[in-house]
Amino acid sequence: MENTLQYAQQLDQQDPLKEYRNRFHIPQRNGQDAVYLTGNSLGLQPKATKGYIQQELDDWAQLGVEGHVHGKNPWVSYHELFPQQLSKIVGCLPTEVVAMNQLSVNLHLLMVSFYRPTKHRYKIICEAKAFPSDQYALQSQVAFHGYEPADAIVEVSPREGEYTIRHEDILSAIEQHKNELALVLFGGVNYYTGQAFDMKAITAAAHDAGAVAGFDLAHAAGNIPMQLHDWEVDFACWCSYKYLNSSPGGVAGVFIHNKHHKDKSLPRFAGWWGHNKESRFKMGSSFEPIPTAEGWQLSNVPVLTMAAHKASLDVFEEAGFENLVTKSRQLSSYLLFVLDEINATQTQQVTQVITPRGEAEKGCQVSMLMLERGREIFDELINQGVIADWREPNVIRIAPVPLYNSFEDVWQFGDIIKKILS
């Protein structure tokens, strides 16, 4: 590799996905395209999104309530457009996935079914410094069942002087608490460090301990390859506005392994959109769940945000998720190379990459620990046209994504931060 503009442009010319950048609106800074490297926080808008939403607005205007059955994409069954596409992204059967609600709402709904504490099995194992929303969900669910969060929640932390969690420490915690363990709930990718966890092995260990395994895939869905069905993950949920480019606060998604679909002993908070489709509109008072992941739905779908979701997923479908993963790894490797070269030229180290280097241990995101002047450097990046992401207390997150970022974006970021450091 070479840290030169010419080399980066050469990689872009050889990139079979390079034309997809033109399918997205790129924010403008200083009269030109911004160096947008925060797809891990909010993905960019596909240019087709407006047309997808306009179609539903037109049907609403022209058909009114009849759009539910006579629209181009009938609203009653709109959510049925997604399972085939989403199943390829998270690695499951189409019947195991459904687009619905928001991530935190879905996490609570899934824990109703899959966190079933008893007198002897009530503990949850999670990662330390999980995203705050997950921490709040775990604490409130534990308290709802009458347990003390400090006793029931076991956090696995990095070792002293380290920033990421060792896999063997996760397995050790599961083994240590196996007789009291009800649930293992991890992020697929840690939001702060960008560390991707071994979901297959964590799931197997949880099951060996007699516990349930679930994952928050907010930073994994659309980012890293997964095989949730084959790994026998019990449940997972994710948002769609990061790597899936589906609008701010866009509709989220859930995975529920098909081994649970027909288990009517599982408690759930029921809603009419999860009821048997054949009898849903007979308005009966007795809930009969659909024997797929759809059975966890509550309400009819938010069509306008789902239209934005569909616009993005159609681009994913066309590009091919395996192709996107290949380019993602190339972009990430080039970013690490550029950062390493910059660090090697500094008389005093100012940044430290805390994201793991192994291909299976990370996705798009690279987290830079700022050893000094972190916020000052971040603000100057923004001033010079780089849209990145700051996380307290001292990390800059950079995430070049394969659909719309280029190798030249990575080089430009490196060139700008090198000048700032100098």
pLDDT value, residue 408: 98
pLDDT beyond 90 at 348: no
Q: Do the domain assignments include residue 45?
A: no
Q: Do the domain assignments include residue 248?
A: yes
Integer Cα distance of 369 and 138 in angstroms = 28
Q: Are 42 and 399 in contact (CB under 8 A)?
A: no
Task: Write down which residue in 295, 317, 339 finishes a domain.
Answer: 317
Q: How do residues 127-163 score in pLDDT, each as one tens digit?
A: 998 999 999 999 999 999 999 999 999 999 999 999 9
Residues 203, 345 within the same domain: no
Residues 260, 276 within the same domain: yes
50 to 59, 64, 251, 307, 313: CA distances (angstroms): 14, 20, 16, 9, 14
Task: Write down which residue in 261, 285, 317 finishes a domain.
Answer: 317
Residues 234, 366 within the same domain: no
Residue 413 belongs to domain spanning = 5-33+321-421
Q: How many residues can be counted in the chain? A: 422
Q: Are 309 and 250 in contact (CB under 8 A)?
A: yes
Q: Which contiguous run of DSSP H or E holds residue 185?
A: strand 181-187
Residues 246, 297 within the same domain: yes
pLDDT, average across residues 94-113: 97
**Residue 322 pLDDT class (50, 70, 90 cuts):** very high
Q: Which contiguous run of DSSP H or E holds residue 329?
A: helix 321-345
Integer Cα distance of 318 and 97 in angstroms = 20
pLDDT beyond 90 at 422: no
Of all residues in the chain, the percent with pLDDT exceeding 90 is: 95
CB count in 10 Å sphere of residue 201: 13
Integer Cα distance of 280 and 295 in angstroms = 12
Q: Do the domain assignments include residue 43?
A: no
**In degrees, to the nearest 5, what angle opens at C-alpha 226 toward C-alphas 239 and 129?**
55
C-beta contacts of 368-375 below 8 A and 24+ residues apart: 368/339, 368/395, 368/396, 368/397, 368/398, 369/163, 369/394, 369/395, 370/394, 370/395, 370/396
**Residue 384 pLDDT class (50, 70, 90 cuts):** very high
pLDDT beyond 90 at 347: no
**Strand partners for 212:** 183
Q: Do the domain assignments include residue 39?
A: no
Q: Do the domain assignments include residue 40?
A: no
> In which residue are the tokens 């979701």 written?
309
Segment among 169-178, 290-299, 343-352 with least mean pLDDT:
343-352
Residues 68, 194 within the same domain: yes
Residues 140, 85 within the same domain: yes
Integer Cα distance of 277 and 69 in angstroms = 14
Number of domains the chain contains? 2
**Of 133, 296, 114, residue with least CA distance to 124:** 114
CATH number of the domain where residue 16 is located: 3.90.1150.10
Q: How do residues 174-195 score in pLDDT, each as one tens digit?
A: 999 999 999 999 999 999 999 9
pLDDT value, residue 387: 97
pLDDT beyond 90 at 349: no
pLDDT, average across residues 221-242: 98
Residues 300, 384 within the same domain: no
CATH number of the domain where residue 111 is located: 3.40.640.10
Residues 221, 363 within the same domain: no
Residues 414, 334 within the same domain: yes
Residues 73, 201 within the same domain: yes
25 to 21, 49, 50, 374, 383: CA distances (angstroms): 8, 10, 11, 29, 20
With b for 16 or more beta-carbon neighbours within 10 A and e for fewer, the 240-272 pattern comes to bbbbbbbbeebbbbbbbbeebbeeeebebeebe
Q: Do the domain assignments include residue 44?
A: no
Task: Write down which residue in 317, 343, 367 finishes a domain.
Answer: 317
Integer Cα distance of 39 and 265 in angstroms = 40
Residues 328, 222 within the same domain: no
Mean pLDDT over each residue of the chain, to the nearest integer: 96
Residues 6+ apart with CB under 8 A from 422: none
Does residue 334 come out as left (phi exceeding 0), alpha (psi in the -120 to 50 range) or beta? Answer: alpha
Task: Pull the structure tokens for residue 83.
Answer: 């399972």
pLDDT value, residue 163: 96
CB count in 10 Å sphere of residue 360: 11
Q: How do residues 36-92 score in pLDDT, each as one tens digit?
A: 999 999 999 999 999 999 999 999 999 999 999 999 999 999 999 999 999 999 999
CB count in 10 Å sphere of residue 295: 24
Residues 203, 258 within the same domain: yes
Q: Do the domain assignments include residue 270?
A: yes
Q: Do the domain assignments include residue 68?
A: yes
**Residue 30 pLDDT class (50, 70, 90 cuts):** confident
pLDDT beyond 90 at 112: yes
